Amino acid sequence: MTVTTARTEIEKFIAKYRNNAGQNKDRIGVFIVGYGDMVKETLSELIVQGFDGPIACTSTLTEPDWQPKDTSADHRIFTVLPRMTDPKTKLGGDDRNVVFFFAKETLYRVLELTAKDANPRTFIDRWKRGETRCRLNQEYLSNGDIIVQLEVVGAECWR
């Protein structure tokens, strides 16, 4: 689904959902995988067209530009936020744009790892070992990948 096809695709989904409501009790929710305007348009169309089930979004809805304007379904919309090492830490300001926040945290990590030794081999070894302080609750894998812990949240955290 794209921004331009959201309305017609949601119309098809709603028609199928309503026709099968009595027969198919398992089809009660929506899981949206996407980013940016596509998510906002899909959420908006679901609300406008009367979908009444829960909605889960893989993209965080922390930026107002990513949120539907209509707040009537907020209690049914769930998304994810990064879990922080200090659970009391809440993202504020520009950090509410989680994409920006991840990029900034990664840049800080690179700067910290290269500050005293810019040797690429040393950098890679230190990166893989997770030798930096980070506000994110994450796990460092031996291949250099990082698993960032996420928390499922409702509108009280993303609006």
pLDDT tens readout for residues 141-159: 878 788 888 888 899 888 8
Residue-wise pLDDT for 93-115, tens only, equals 888 888 888 888 889 989 999 99
Q: Is the pLDDT of residue 22 over 60?
A: no
For residues 72, 35, 14, 25, the Cα torsion angle rounded to the nearest 10 degrees is: -90
Confidence label for 24 from pLDDT (cuts 50, 70 and 90): low
Number of CB atoms found within 10 A of residue 137's CB:
17
Of 127 and 17, the structure prediction assigns the larger pLDDT to 127
Domain ranges of the chain: 6-158
Predicted model pTM = 0.73
In the prediction, which pLDDT does 136 show? 84
